[in-house]
Amino acid sequence: MKFILCCHQPLPNRMAREVKDLWNRWVKDRGDVVLTLQRVNETQKYKVHLKQFIRGDGTRETFLSDGWSEFVNSNNLQIQDKILFSMYDMGEVSYRVRIWRNHNEITRGEPHALLEPLRFFKFMFLHSYIFKPTINIPLPFAREHFMGLKKFSTVNLYGTRVYEATMHIKYDRNKIVSCNIKRGLRKFIRGENVQVNEKAVVELIAMDPPFFSLIFT
């Protein structure tokens, strides 16, 4: 999940639902909902509590609460920094964190620290892509990562849980000319309650089979 840092940090509704679902599914303690944050390339983990407020109109808003200020101060975050949370341990409700400032990634602490590049592309679920479930994978991305895979390849999609789908690759003279995910995507759209015009960062986090994490923004 990606958001922009502000003074009092509300949590995007989709991420709030994801955290609560995982907490109820995996954690036996039914106390405060807590997530674990870990900045990429660092070992320290931060426990951050969620709190929910009811507005005057009856709508609910979830905020990062106890522990969030420690994470902000320890990592020298500033207002308007962009933050990407990527789930990496469902059992602990744990997220790895990457940070951008003025369009530059500042995640790594040391100037020469190696930082694994994100393998991702951005996608918007237009009405046509929900009516006829489709994720079109950009050709440069497909050619970089999927050359040599079978015409129909099983893939996994992760939102709040894992869905199996099929990626269709079309070749012409040993070159990928189209690549998309269709079969199995309808279950993901329904299960994750994807809405028209929602945007997602589609990150390739593993191969054999390809495993995509969809981070809604």
Which CATH code of 2.60.40.420, 3.90.650.10, 3.40.50.450, 2.40.330.10 fits the domain covering 2-105?
A: 2.40.330.10
Q: What is the pLDDT, as a whole number, of residue 4? A: 54
Q: What is the pLDDT, as a whole number, of residue 108? A: 63
Instruction: Provide the b/e sequence for 134-148 (b: ≥16 CB within 10 Å).
Output: bbebeeebbeeebee
149-153, 165-169, 207-211 — which is least confidently predicted?
Answer: 207-211
Map residue 127 onto helix, strand or coil: helix
> Which tokens is 205 given?
């986090």
Tell how far CA 186 is from the center of its chain: 19
* Residue with more model confidence, 84 or 156: 156
Q: What is the pLDDT, as a whole number, of residue 26? A: 54
pLDDT at 185 over 70: yes
16-25, 61-70, 204-213 — which is least confidently predicted?
Answer: 16-25
Which CATH code of 1.10.540.10, 2.40.330.10, 3.10.110.10, 3.40.50.2300 fits the domain covering 120-216?
A: 2.40.330.10
The pLDDT of 97-103, averaged and rounded, is 81
- Give just the sign of the alpha carbon dihedral 209, 217, 17, 78: positive
pLDDT at 217 over 60: yes
Largest CA distance in the chain: 62
Q: What is the pLDDT, as a whole number, of residue 16? A: 67
